[in-house]
Structure 1
Amino acid sequence: MPTEHENYCNGEWVASESGETFAVTNPADETDVVGRLQYSTESDTTWAIEAAADAQDEWAAVPGPERGRILRDAGSIAADRKDELTETLVREEGKTRSEASGEVQRAIDILFYYAEKARDHGGDVKPSSSSSGEIRTKTEPVGVAGLITPWNYPIAIPAWKLAPALATGNTAVVKPASEAPISAKKLIECLDEAGLPPGVVNFVTGSGSTVGGALATHDAVDVVSFTGSSGTGDIVYQDAADDQKRVQLEMGGKNPTVVMPSADVDDAVDIVGSGAFGTTGQSCTACSRAIVHEAVRDEFLTGIVAYAENLDVGPGLDDPGMGPHVSEGELESTLDYVEIAQNEGATLETGGSTLDGGVFDGGHYVEPTVFADVESDMRIAQEEVFGPVLSVLTVGDFEEAVAVANDTKYGLSASIVSENANEIDAFVDEVDAGVVKVNEKTTGLELHVPFGGMKASSNELYREQGDAGLEFYTTTKTVYRNR
C-alpha cells in the first residue's frame, strides 16, 4: 500500500475533513503510486490559516538567532536525508537523479543561507539632523504568508519561499502543486523535527481553486507568494488585491538565447541544449528560443540537432540525460505544440514524438525536439510550451536579434553567446528580462541574488531570493528618538 501523507496544521499531522485522498504517481511509470495526499477542503485551509495567525505574534518575538538555529537544524536534517529526498523527488516529479540531487542540495543551502541572515536582520541606525536625536529603522514581519508552489521544483521553491518568511518572523501556510507535493511535505518534516513551534508552518494539499483560493482571499493572510502559470497568477493577484495583500508572482517565460557570429558555436550548442532540454524543458527559465545570426545558423542547427538526438532519455532513477514529463497532461500539451508548429510552417528537424516500449511503457516520454524556420509571430515562438521543444529563429544582425528576443509578452530569463563586448553590454541594457546571462544557459540561479521577471513573467513589484526575499516578507518602521 502506498503511504498516505497527511496535512500539517498547528504542529500536528492530520487528515482532511473530506476523508478523500488523491494519488501521486511516478512519471516514469504511472503504475508506481508514490503516495496518497489529502484532498483538502476550504475548512481545512481555514484551520491552517487560523493556526498560523494564532502563532504569529509569538514567533515574531523569537530572537532572530533562534529562528536561524531552527532553519540551520532543518538544513542539517535535510542533508542527512538527502538520498531519501532525492529519490522521492525523482519518483514524483520525474527529474533525473542528478537534477533532483542538485535541487535538494539547493533547498539545503537555502535553509543554511537564511539561517545566517536571520541573525542580523533587524534594521539600521541613521544619523539625525538634531544633535540630541537618534533615528533608526526597525524591520517587522508582515504576518501570515500564503505560499503557493509549483510541481517543477517541488522542494527548492518551497524552501526559497519559506526560509526568508520564517527568518523574518512570519508564519506560513504552504499549498504545493498536486502533481508533486511529497517533497515539500518532507521539507516540512525537517522543520518540524528541528523544533519549529506549532502553527508557525502549516501544510495543506488539494485543489488550487479550493486551497489556493482560500489563501489568496482569507482576511488573516497578509502576504501571498505564488509561482506557476501566468493565467493562474493573474487570478491569484486579482483575488489577493481585493484586501490589498502584498503579492509576489513568478510566472512563465519564453526565454531566448542569442547566438552571434563571434560565438564559439560548439559552446553555444552546449549552452542552448542544456538550457532547452535540462529538466525536460519543465523550467520557467528554460531556453525555448535560439535566436541565431544567419552567419552561424547552419553550423548551429547541425550541432543542436545532434545534441538532441544524442541525448539519452529514460527513467530519472537511471540518471539519463533527460527524464519524462511530469504528467500525461503536460505530455499532451507538448505534443499539441509540435502539431501547431508544423501547421504554422516551422520545420521539424528532429524529435516531436512520444517514446514507448520497454522502459518507456507507462511513462510520459517525448523526444527532445528542435524546430527551424520559426518566425517570431508563430505561436511556437510566443507561447510557453513547458517541454523539451526548441525553436530556432534566424536573424541578420544584432539589432534584429534583440528585437526578436523582446518580441513576446514574457521577460524572465535571457542569454547571449558572444565574444563581442559591445554586443554584450548592449544586450544587458536592452533585453527585457529580469535575469540576463552572458555565455551561460538561461537556467540555473544563485540563491543570494534577486530572482524575478518583467512583463507577464512577474508583477515586477517584488523579487525572490537573497536580500530581496527578506524585504518581501518585512515592513519597516522609522523610529525618531529625542534624548
Structure 2
Amino acid sequence: MVQDLEKRIKETGLQIYQLIEGDAPSVFKKEFWSGKIMDWCMRNEAFKVEMFRFVDVFPSLSSSVSVAKHIQEYFCRPEQDFPSSLQWGLKLVSPNSLVAKVATKAISDNITGMARQFIVGEDARDALPVLKKLRKEGFAFTADLLGEAVVSETEADEFYQRYIDLFDTLAKEQSKWKPLGNSNSDLDWGFSPKINVSIKPSAMYSQMNARAFDYSVEAALKRLRPIFRKAKQIGAAVLLDMEHTGLKNLTLAMFKKLLEEPEFQDYEQAGIVIQAYLKDSEQDLRELIDWARVRERRITIRLVKGAYWDQEVILARQQNWEIPVFTNKYETDANYEKLARILLENHQYVSFACASHNIRSISYVWEVAKELGVPNGRLEFQILYGMAEPVRNALRKVGLPLRLYAPIGQMLPGMAYLVRRLLENTANESFLRQSFAEGAAREQLLRNPLELLAENPTLPEKVYSAPEYGDKGIFTNEPVIDWTIAENRTRFAAALEKVGKELGRKIPLYIGGREVLTAEEIISTNPNQPSQVVGRVAAATLKEAQMAVEVAKQAFPAWRDTPARERAEVLFKAAEVARRQRMELAALQVYEVGKNWSEADADVTEAIDFLEYYGREMIRLAKQRRMGRAPGETSHLFYEPKGVGAVIAPWNFPLAISVGMTAAAIVTGNTVVYKPASLSPITGAKVYEIFQQAGLPAGVLNFLPGPGGAIGDFLVTHPDIAFVTFTGSMEVGLRIIELAARTPEGAMGVKSVVAEMGGKNAIIIDSDADIDEAVVHTLYSAFGFQGQKCSACSRVIVLEENYQKFVDRLVQAAKSINIGPAVNPETYMGAVIDEQAQRKIMGFIEQGKKEGRLLLSRDDVDMPGHYVPLTIFADIRPEHVLAQEEIFGPVLAVIKVKDFTEALQVANSTRYALTGGVFSRSPENIARAKKEFRVGNLYINRGCTGAIVERHPFGGFKMSGVGSKAGGPDYLLQFMVPRTVTENQMRRGFAPPEEEC
C-alpha cells in the first residue's frame, strides 16, 4: 500500500513537472536584475550576505548619494573579491558624480522592480488591478498587509484601520468578480469566500509579551474582535498568520478564545497557520483538531513549512534554549507530510490549505486526499505571489483550487518580507533553487523525505570555539526564563505568592558563621508599595565591623592555602543552590527593588553565570606558568590572594553584582567582609545564605549590612583590608579611591580598589538605521528597570536625516508601555527605588524643562510608591546638565546632530565611558564607531544594557571605572598578586635534563 502510494506520488509529481517544462520562476530568469545577481547570490555566500543587507537598507536611503555610498561600502571594499561587473562601476568614483547618479538610478529601479515581483500593491486600492488580473487568470488570493513593526498603540490603531479599509475596499468589488471554478454559487469553487485576508497578530497589540500572556491576549482581541466582525458581516474569510515562536502560543490562544465567544461560534471562515518546521507543531495541530471536534465546528488550517528558520535558530542559540525548529530540511519535509495526513484524516472538522511550492509535498497531499476520499471544499493549495509562477500555472492547468498569498504594503516596510523571500529562493536546500536553478534530477526531488533523512541524518549541533576547563567542559550561560512556556509563568506567579507570604522576616548579621543581633535595624520596603515591609536586617556598628575584619583575617590563611579546585567547587555548588531557588530569588527582587519579572530573572541568571564562569577561570589561572626556557633554571609565575577584602555592593543588581564581586574575591583565595546596599539587604542576606549552603567555611564570608556613613569609611581605611571592590555612583567611588589611597599606619600593603562607577551612556541613530529596531532597543535601554542601571541610555543622538521619524515613533512607543507595580506581569516600568531617588530625579526633570523641550511626561499613571514619570526631552545640547550628569532614572535626552562625525563627538563629550550603542547599516560608520566611540562596552544594532557574562565582559574607563572587565578573562587577576619563583638547578656543573625542569 505504501509502495503504491509512493508510485502515485511520483507519477503525479512528474506530471506537474511536464506541465512546467521549460519554464522558470521570474526570480531565476536571466532578466531578473541584470541576470547575474541571483546567480551570484547562490554561488557566493559572501556576496549574498552583502546583497541582502543592501536590499534591506536600500528603502531608508533618501538620496542617490546615499545609495552610491552604501553600494561602495557593501560591494567595493578592498578585502572583497567580487567581480567588477557587480560593483556597478562605482568602486573608484565619487558618490556625488554623474556616473554614480546614473548607476544608482538603474539599481534603484531594479530593486523596486524586484520588490514588485513579490508585493501586489502599496495599499488596497493600488493592489486591486493586480488582484483582479489574478482572478481572471483563475487564482484566488489571500491579502496580507505588510508594515513596519508595531511599536506603539498608535501604530496598532493604524494597522487596525488598514485592515478595516482593506475589507471595505474589497467588499465593494467582490460582487463584480465571477466565482472561480465554474461555481453555481457565489463562492469560489463552490465553497470559499472571494475575500480572504491574513492577519498579523503582532499588529493587534504593540506590547505583546508572552510573560503577560492573558493580558496580551485580551489587549489583542480588542482590535481583532471588530476585524472578525467585519469579515463575518461581508462574508469574508480571515486567517491568523503565524509569526515567530515567541508569538505562537499567544496566537493560538487568541484564535480559540475569540471563536469561543457567542458572536463567532457559528463563523466557519476563520483559520490559523501551523508551521511544520516547529518540533511541537504536531501537538499544536492535534490540540486544534480536538478543540474543533469538541465544539462541533469547522476551522481552516494553513500548513506551511515556516519562514523564520534562521531567526528561530539564532535566537535559541543566543538564549541557550532548545532550538524549536527542525535543523534538517528533510525532517521538516517529513513532518509536513505527517501533519498533512492528520489534516486530511480530520477533514470533517478542518479545511486544509496546503501552502507549499515543493512538488513532492503537493503531490503527496493530492494523492493522500484522493486515497482518503476527501470531499470537494476541504482542500485548497496556496503559493506565494511572485515565488513559483510555473508551479502555480501547472496546478491551475490540472484544475486544483489555488490561492496566492498576496502581500500589500509600501516598499520600506516590505523589505523584511522581500529579504525572507530571497533567502528562501537562494538557500542551498531551496526546492525552487534545486528545481529551476540547479536542475536537480526530478526523481531525486520527488523521493520520500524519510528516505532522504535516513541517508542524511541530523548532525549534532556544532559548539563554537571556547576555552576548555578540564572536566568542567566549556562555560555556557544560564538560560533566562522562556515565558512562552505556561509552566514557567505559573511557577513564577507561585514564587511571588510564596515570597510575598514570607516578607517581613528579621535577619541578623553573620560573622564567622555566627548570628549577631544589633540594637539598630535596616528596614527594607517595597518601592512600589512603601507600606509593605520586605524585611528587617540588623545594622552593624563599628564594633561589629571590627569583629568581621578580625574574623576574616583569621580565616584567611586556611582559605588561601585551600587548593584552587576546591575553592572553585564551592562556586559550582553555590550555582546549583541558586538554580534550585531561582524563582524565589527573582521574586524577592520584584518586591525589594521593583524589578519586573524579566529583569529580576535576568539578575539571577547573571549571578549563576558569575559563579560558573569564575569557578572555571580560577581553575585555568591556578596552573603555574613556565617562564623562559634557559637551561639549568626553572622559572614559574603563579598567583596568590591578596588577603581580606571589603565588598561594597549596589542595590540595582542586588544579587548578580553582589555574587559576582564576592565570588571573584572568594574563589581567588581571599576572605570577604560583604556590605550589601541598605536598600536591598534582604537579597544581600540571600547572597550569604547561598554560599553558606554551598559549604563555604565559616569566616571566609561575613555578612555586614549597615549604613555607609557608619561603617563604610571604617572598612575602606582599615589597615587589615587589602582591597575594596565597589559598584555604585561616581561620587562614592571617588571617595573610596581617595580614602583607600591613604595608607594607614600598620598596614602591610598598598590597598587596591576595583570600582565600577557611573555612566552617561549614549545611543547613536544613524541616517540609515533600522528604525523598527532602534526604537524598541532605545526604549528598553532607557526605561528598562526605570533607567536605574549604570549602563542605561540617557542620551540618544540622532542624525537630522532620520530625526523626526525616529523621535515621533519613540515618543508614541513610550506612551504605550505599561507602567505599574512590578508584581504585575505586564509591567514594563515601575517605581524608582526610594523617596530620595524620586526627589533627585524630579529635580533633573525640572532642570530639563529649563534646558530643552518636553516631548513626553507620563503623568497619566496613577500608582502608589516612588513613581517618577517617564520623561523625554528634545533640543538638549551637549553641554546641558541633562547631557552631562548621570540621572539614574527614566529620563532621556534627545540630541540632534548633522552627521556621524558630530554624533561621535557628542557621544564622547562626557567624563564617563561605560556603554554606548550605534544603530547603523553603514559598514563604514560601524567601523568608525568601533574605533572612535570610546566606551568600555559598545553595542552595534542592539541596546546598550544587558551585558552577558563571558560574551560581553563589562566595565568602563574615564570616570566610569577603575579595574578590569567583570565577567571577562582577566577580572580575577585584580584579586590576586602575581609571584615568580626561579630555581637555579645547577649542582657542581650538572643540571637535570631540560624536559624535567
Residue 674 of structure 2 aligns with an amino acid whose one-letter code is V
In the other structure, the counterpart of 1:171 is 671
- Is residue 933 of structure 2 the alignment partner of residue 431 of structure 1? yes
Deviation at 1:227, TM superposition (A): 0.8
Q: Deviations over 1:300-321 (max 9, x none)?
A: 1011101211110111111311
In the other structure, the counterpart of 2:530 is 30
Among 766, 785, 801, the residue aligned to 1:295: 801
In the other structure, the counterpart of 2:836 is 329
Q: Deviations over 1:163-220 (max 9, x none)?
A: 1111111111111111112112101101111111111001111111222212200011
8 Å contact kept, 1:204–1:211: no
Q: Tell me which moved more, 315-324 or 386-395.
A: 315-324
- Is residue 849 of structure 2 the alignment partner of residue 342 of structure 1? yes
In the other structure, the counterpart of 1:258 is 764
8 Å contact kept, 2:571–2:612: yes
In the other structure, the counterpart of 1:235 is 735
Residue 426 of structure 1 aligns with an amino acid whose one-letter code is R
- Is residue 630 of structure 2 the alignment partner of residue 130 of structure 1? yes
Matched residues in 1 for 2:538 and 2:703: separation? 10
In the other structure, the counterpart of 2:408 is none
SS of structure 1 residue aligned to 2:820? coil
Residue 947 of structure 2 aligns with an amino acid whose one-letter code is L
In the other structure, the counterpart of 2:282 is none
8 Å contact kept, 1:64–1:120: no
- Please state which structure has a larger fraction of its residues in strand: 1
8 Å contact kept, 2:568–2:615: yes
Matched residues in 2 for 1:426 and 1:116: separation? 35
Q: Deviations over 1:440-476 (max 9, x none)?
A: 11111121253221211123x4433322221110111
In the other structure, the counterpart of 1:271 is 777
- Is residue 556 of structure 2 the alignment partner of residue 56 of structure 1? yes
Change (3 A) 1:384 1:409: same
- Is residue 812 of structure 2 the alignment partner of residue 306 of structure 1? yes
8 Å contact kept, 1:95–1:324: no
In the other structure, the counterpart of 1:408 is 910
Residue 430 of structure 1 aligns with an amino acid whose one-letter code is E
In the other structure, the counterpart of 1:376 is 878
Matched residues in 2 for 1:70 and 1:127: separation? 30
SS of structure 1 residue aligned to 2:801? coil
Deviation at 1:121, TM superposition (A): 2.2
Matched residues in 1 for 2:842 and 2:671: separation? 41
SS of structure 1 residue aligned to 2:823? helix
Among 932, 938, 955, the residue aligned to 1:452: 955
8 Å contact kept, 2:610–2:949: yes
In the other structure, the counterpart of 2:83 is none
Matched residues in 1 for 2:809 and 2:684: separation? 38
Change (3 A) 1:332 1:140: same
8 Å contact kept, 2:832–2:838: yes
TM-score (normalizing by structure 2): 0.47
In the other structure, the counterpart of 2:697 is 197
Deviation at 1:267, TM superposition (A): 1.0
Q: Tell me which moved more, 425-434 or 404-413.
A: 425-434
Question: Structure 2 matches for 1:94-173, cutoff 5 A?
Answer: 94-173=594-673
Question: Structure 2 matches for 1:12-91, cutoff 5 A?
Answer: 12-16=514-518, 19-91=519-591
Matched residues in 2 for 1:203 and 1:127: separation? 40
Among 748, 755, 780, the residue aligned to 1:249: 755
Matched residues in 2 for 1:192 and 1:157: separation? 18
Matched residues in 2 for 1:109 and 1:477: separation? 29
Matched residues in 2 for 1:46 and 1:421: separation? 57
Matched residues in 2 for 1:279 and 1:191: separation? 27
- Please state which structure has a larger fraction of its residues in helix: 2
SS of structure 2 residue aligned to 1:150? coil
Deviation at 1:30, TM superposition (A): 0.5
- Is residue 981 of structure 2 the alignment partner of residue 479 of structure 1? yes
SS of structure 1 residue aligned to 2:970? helix
8 Å contact kept, 1:325–1:387: yes
Matched residues in 2 for 1:5 and 1:342: separation? 44
Q: Tell me which moved more, 281-290 or 433-442.
A: 433-442
Q: Deviations over 1:385-432 (max 9, x none)?
A: 111111100000111001100111111111111011111111121122
SS of structure 2 residue aligned to 1:468? coil
Residue 927 of structure 2 aligns with an amino acid whose one-letter code is D
Matched residues in 2 for 1:246 and 1:113: separation? 23
Deviation at 1:117, TM superposition (A): 2.4
Report which of the two structures shows the higher radius of gyration computed on alpha carbons: 2
In the other structure, the counterpart of 2:888 is 386
In the other structure, the counterpart of 2:920 is 418
SS of structure 1 residue aligned to 2:879? coil
In the other structure, the counterpart of 1:286 is 792
SS of structure 2 residue aligned to 1:275? helix
Deviation at 1:113, TM superposition (A): 1.8
CA RMSD in angstroms, aligned pairs only = 1.4
Matched residues in 2 for 1:471 and 1:391: separation? 38
For structure 1, which runs of at least 5 residues remain unmatched after alignment? none
For structure 2, which runs of at least 5 residues remain unmatched after alignment? 1-502, 744-749, 986-997
8 Å contact kept, 2:575–2:612: yes
SS of structure 2 residue aligned to 1:466? coil
Matched residues in 2 for 1:44 and 1:462: separation? 31
Among 947, 969, 988, the residue aligned to 1:467: 969
Matched residues in 1 for 2:703 and 2:681: separation? 10
8 Å contact kept, 1:134–1:482: yes
Matched residues in 1 for 2:811 and 2:763: separation? 16
Matched residues in 1 for 2:572 and 2:654: separation? 20
Q: Deviations over 1:4-44 (max 9, x none)?
A: 1111110112113xx11121100110110000112211111
Deviation at 1:367, TM superposition (A): 2.7
8 Å contact kept, 2:760–2:913: yes
Matched residues in 2 for 1:151 and 1:353: separation? 26
Deviation at 1:257, TM superposition (A): 0.2
Residue 369 of structure 1 aligns with an amino acid whose one-letter code is T
Deviation at 1:125, TM superposition (A): 2.8
Q: Which has the higher contact order (CA 8 A, sep 6+)?
A: 1
Q: Tell me which moved more, 464-473 or 387-396.
A: 464-473
Residue 439 of structure 1 aligns with an amino acid whose one-letter code is N
Matched residues in 2 for 1:177 and 1:411: separation? 24
Matched residues in 2 for 1:473 and 1:172: separation? 11
8 Å contact kept, 1:463–1:472: no
Residue 79 of structure 1 aligns with an amino acid whose one-letter code is R
8 Å contact kept, 1:121–1:168: no
Deviation at 1:383, TM superposition (A): 0.7
8 Å contact kept, 2:618–2:972: no
In the other structure, the counterpart of 2:177 is none
- Is residue 688 of structure 2 the alignment partner of residue 182 of structure 1? no
- Is residue 944 of structure 2 the alignment partner of residue 442 of structure 1? yes
Equivalent residues, number: 475
Among 367, 379, 392, the residue aligned to 2:869: 367
Matched residues in 2 for 1:130 and 1:83: separation? 56
Residue 563 of structure 2 aligns with an amino acid whose one-letter code is P
Share of identical aligned residues, percent? 36
Q: Tell me which moved more, 325-334 or 217-226.
A: 325-334
